[in-house]
């Protein structure tokens, strides 16, 4: 096994159990290592610090598998880690329904489950896996086998790969998709908080759906009774259908993607108890549509802003901040006194504090007094390791205006 020796003083974050080693912290590599190979990590004085996956083309040169310098990285390692991650979720009562036969739940959340670069979302009998690092890619077979074993009690029989995110290019990896275990039609459906939703694991965003917003969609339904609701960047209608299920008077859903809106309409049809007359779908650029709504004088009691990732990294934060401020400013102007705004950012480059400042700036520019009623994040199946705050990518606010 090759040994990667850190520069003096660059071992502090590892001693705090942060799982990333950046290229600028590397002193030298002793021995040969190919992309994805396991290397032993040493402090500059030779102290063993653990073992990780080597990635020579990435600025994150090593992602740590373990901080136990004696632990072997083999098939049994992935079996243990994946079984433990599934067991942690099974121990949470709030995830019981989502672990049921027709549920959707994240089984593996990368670094926060001790498996850097490994995402696994379960939809009914199918797990969709996303491998975004050289180490995860190298151990593909072991990961799939362990997922089938750990997922068997949940009814998992198939594994589909969606390793097509842009992050792979930074690791020197090509995109790859397709069945890794089992086969069949990719489109399927789940039941979330009583609402049935279609999931296109082959063509949908990310792994086919946004499971991280499950609890926030439920909150939307609880807030929506009797309200006029505007759902911006609605994708396949998850927030919209929960609002309808919660008794919203009318729900307007806006997205620039025609195919996403067609899936949203199909999702509505999967729920015969929901009144389609209370749903309106608009294919449009959200920024332009909000300006048009403002011009028309239309108002909404509850607005949801769940935009795509404006800032994939801190380097994009300034430009993204302007976009987040614009979208929140436009929305705040459409709310009557007492109106509610559910606003989110999934950008890793925008921290919790910065996001609050952006929304506060938007309220100030809109001339609205507003208060935070709740701070929002991903669900318990999307944990954030204390040593890895970067894992808290999703943040949101429930804001009420005067």
- Cβ neighbours of 323 (radius 10 Å): 16
End-to-end CA distance of the chain, in Å? 63
Is residue 1 within 8 A of residue 40, CB to CB? The reply is yes
d(CA 34, CA 17): 24
Tokens at residue 211, please?
A: 């499971």
Write out the DSSP string of 74-124: SHHHHHHHHHHHHHHHHT-GGGTTTTSTT-EEEEEEGGGGT-TTEEEEEET
- Pairwise CA distance, residues 367 & 355, whole Å: 19
Rg (CA), the chain: 22
Q: Name 111's Cβ contacts closer than 8 Å, sequence gap at least 6.
A: 19, 63, 385, 388, 390, 391
Q: Where are the beta strands (DSSP E) in 90-240?
A: 104-109, 118-123, 126-131, 158-163, 176-181, 187-192, 195-200, 228-232
How many residues does this entry show for the chain?
402
Q: How far apart are CA 200 and CA 36, in angstroms?
A: 30
Per DSSP, the three-state class of 237 is coil
Q: Which residues are catalytic?
A: 346
| Burial call 30-69: b when 16+ CB within 10 Å, e when fewer | eeebebbbbbbbbbeeeeebbbbbbbbebebbbbbbbbee
Do 179 and 349 meet the contact criterion of CB atoms below 8 Å apart?
no
């Amino acid at each position: 096994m090759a040994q990667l020796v850190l520069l003096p003083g660059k071992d502090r974050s590892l001693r705090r159990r942060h799982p990333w080693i950046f290229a600028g912290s590397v002193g030298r590599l002793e021995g040969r290592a190919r992309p994805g190979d396991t290397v032993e990590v040493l402090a500059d004085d030779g102290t063993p610090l653990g073992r990780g996956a080597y990635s020579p083309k990435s600025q994150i040169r090593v992602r740590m598998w373990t901080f136990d310098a004696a632990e072997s990285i083999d098939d049994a390692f992935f079996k243990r880690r994946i079984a433990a991650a599934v067991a942690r979720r099974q121990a949470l009562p709030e995830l019981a329904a989502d672990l049921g036969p027709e549920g959707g739940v994240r089984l593996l959340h990368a670094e926060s489950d001790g498996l850097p670069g490994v995402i696994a979302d379960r939809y009914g009998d199918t797990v969709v896996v996303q491998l975004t690092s050289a180490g995860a890619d190298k151990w593909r077979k072991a990961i799939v086998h362990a997922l089938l074993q750990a997922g068997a009690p949940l009814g998992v029989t198939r594994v589909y790969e969606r390793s097509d995110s842009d992050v792979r290019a930074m690791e020197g990896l090509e995109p790859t998709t397709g069945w890794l275990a089992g086969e069949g039609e990719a489109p399927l459906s789940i039941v979330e908080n009583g609402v049935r939703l279609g999931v296109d694991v082959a063509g949908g965003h990310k792994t086919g759906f946004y499971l991280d917003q499950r609890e926030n969609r439920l909150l939307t339904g609880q807030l929506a009774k009797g309200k006029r609701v505007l759902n911006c960047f609605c994708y396949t209608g998850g927030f919209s259908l929960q609002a309808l299920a919660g008794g919203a008077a009318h729900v307007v859903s806006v997205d620039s993607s025609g195919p996403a809106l067609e899936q949203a309409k199909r999702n509505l049809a999967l729920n015969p108890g929901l009144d389609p007359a209370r749903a309106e779908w608009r294919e449009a650029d959200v920024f332009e549509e909000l300006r048009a709504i403002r011009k028309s004088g239309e108002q909404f009691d509850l607005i949801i802003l769940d935009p795509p990732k404006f800032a994939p990294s801190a380097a994009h934060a300034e430009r993204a901040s302007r976009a987040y401020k614009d979208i929140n400013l436009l929305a705040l102007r459409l709310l009557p006194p007492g109106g509610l705004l559910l606003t989110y950012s999934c950008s890793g480059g925008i921290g919790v504090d910065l996001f609050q400042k952006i929304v506060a700036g938007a309220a100030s520019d809109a001339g609205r007094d507003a208060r935070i009623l709740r701070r929002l994040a991903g669900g318990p199946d999307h944990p954030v390791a204390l040593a890895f705050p970067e894992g808290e990518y999703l943040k949101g606010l429930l804001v009420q205006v005067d």
